[in-house]
Each structure stands twice: as C-alpha cells, then as structure tokens.
Amino acid sequence: MKVISVEGLSFRYRRAKDYSLRDVSFEVKKGEMLGIIGPSGSGKSTLCLTLNGIIPNSIKGDFEGDVIIRDPRTGEEHSTRETPVPHLSTVVGLVLQNPESQLFNMTVEEEIAFGLENLGLDRNEILRRLRWVLEVTGLKGLEKEFPPNLSGGQQQRLAIAAVLAMEPSIIVLDEPTSQLDPVGKKEVLGLISLLNREHGITVVLVEHHTDYVLRYADRVLVMDGGRIILEGRPEEIAEEAETLKGLGVKLPASLEVSHELRKRGLLDRPALTPEELLSRLARPSR
C-alpha cells in the first residue's frame, strides 16, 4: 500500500528567484525505509517540509503538483494542500536536524505529553503513550530531567519520542544525526532502524551518512538541483558511484574501495558494507 504519493511537485519559496523543487515524483510504500541523499542545497529539507504540509500551509510560495498522504489505519487520503498541519502530524511526524530547536518544555515527560494534551487525549491514554515511547526510545528513568541537560543523542531521541507519541505511521527525519557526536549518531540511527523494522513505521530519512542509508534503506533517492536524478535499491545506487562522487556525495569507505577495485577489474560489482567487501575479497569469484 502506498502511504506517500508525490506527483509533479515543484516549489519556489516566496521571493526566491529559483525553484527549490522541480517536478519531483515518487512513492513510498507502507513499512518502507526510503533514504534521501544529495549535495547541500539540492532540496532535501524542502522536500521533507512538503511531506507533513508545513509547505505550503505554513511556509508559503509557488506550489505545483500534489503530495498525497494515506493513513494506513483508516485508508483515508489527505492532500497536504487541503489538510491542516496538526491533523497531518498524527499521520506524518517530522524530526529536524537540531534537537534543541524542537524541545521547549521543562522535563522529558512534559515534552512528550505536550502534543498529546493538545490532541485532547484523556489522562490514561496520555500515560499509556508516555510509557510506551519512553520504553521504545530508551529514555525510561529520565522522565524528570531538564531536556537541555541531556546528551545530544538523548535530546534527539526525545525529539523522536515527542513525535512518536502522536503515533504517526510515517516518520520523516531531516539529517537527524548531523549535530551529534559518534555515540549520539549510533543511538539515533539504531532507534530509527528499530522503529522501522520492529514497529513497522514507514521512514523517510535524509542522511549524510551514506553508509547507513545504503545499508538499511529499502530504496534511495538522489537529489540534485531540486530534482530526483537517481532512484533505486541501494545496490542499484551503488552502481552509480561515479555520479555520486561527481555530486560531492561522500561514499562509504567500502563502496569507495570496491569502486576502485572494480575499475581495475578486481571486483565485479560494488560492495555496500565492509563485511561484504571482505567476504567477497576472500572468495575466488568476486
């Protein structure tokens, strides 16, 4: 079942000279993890903002085409142009780069409960969701903490927890690890995999870590100049190492090495992970 359908989407910010998105079309199926990569300024963040309706409802500009979100629980379809953002955010949750910009309550539990109180849920339902998200995001025991006192990884997990409490079926994350140290990155990427694999949440992930995207995403979009220039499974995208390098996208070390070996006729296809590269190099047929 398709949960996101983007059709002929173009967007130009108010007063901007150029379009930031140009005739973008793609679909996301229920339970998929879609990775989005591309150079800086290629339109990845703008695309994320269109998926929960912030563009064009709150950030206005010239908007053409359609973004349709289907709630797999009810089967209802929402055109983002015609649906208020608070309603869409119960189907599509959005997590941004900088966790601090998303946290504004005095304690972890208030941060998580905030959106739920606004939904008008009763106390028992709020407590049920609070317990669940604290457990899933590994923040149990930190309920009374002041969010700025948490580590970067914990803060970003809290931002994800607050989004998750709305029980969206889709989560869109725009470079959620870019402000984090290596430990924080690992925590957050681990949580995203868990949500996708164990909890069936559909994930759209913009991530500079191409190694993670190529390892875990089901499908990958590569953007440049507001357009989708490549779309495929990670193995297919890995075949385009030269194009990615030309765009300035940082390749995972295993892909970089296997690309060079392949150019010299020493490997028949690219390796997505160090484990794959090592096991193929150990075999006579590569």
Ligand X SMILES: Nc1ncnc2c1ncn2[C@@H]1O[C@H](COP(=O)(O)OP(=O)(O)OP(=O)(O)O)[C@@H](O)[C@H]1O
Binding residues for ligand X (CB under 6 A): 13, 16, 20, 38, 40-46
> Residue 136 or 251: which CB sits closer to ligand X?
251
Residue 192: both structure tokens together:
């995203």
Shortest distance in whole angstroms from residue 13 CB to ligand X? 3
Q: How far is the CB of 20 from ligand X (least distance, A)?
A: 3
Q: Residue 45 or residue 273: which is nearer to ligand X going by CB?
A: 45
Give me the DSSP letters along 229-253: EEEE-HHHHHTTHHHHHHHTPPPPH
What strands lie across the sheet with 61-70, from one edge to the other? Answer: 21-29, 2-13, 61-70, 77-79
**Minimum gap (Å) between residue 26 Cβ and ligand X:** 15
Residue 204 contacts residue 174 (beta carbons within 8 Å):
no
Task: Compute CA 215 distance to the chain's CA centroid, rounded to the nearest angstrom.
Answer: 14
Residue 82 CA to chain centroid, in angstroms?
23
The amino acid sitting at 216 is: Y
Which element (helix H / strand E) includes 155?
A: helix 152-164
Q: Cβ closer to ligand X: 17 or 264?
A: 17
Residue 101 or 149: the one with the smaller Cβ distance to ligand X is 101
**Residue 13 or 132 with smaller CB distance to ligand X:** 13
Cα gap 23→178, rounded to integer Å = 28
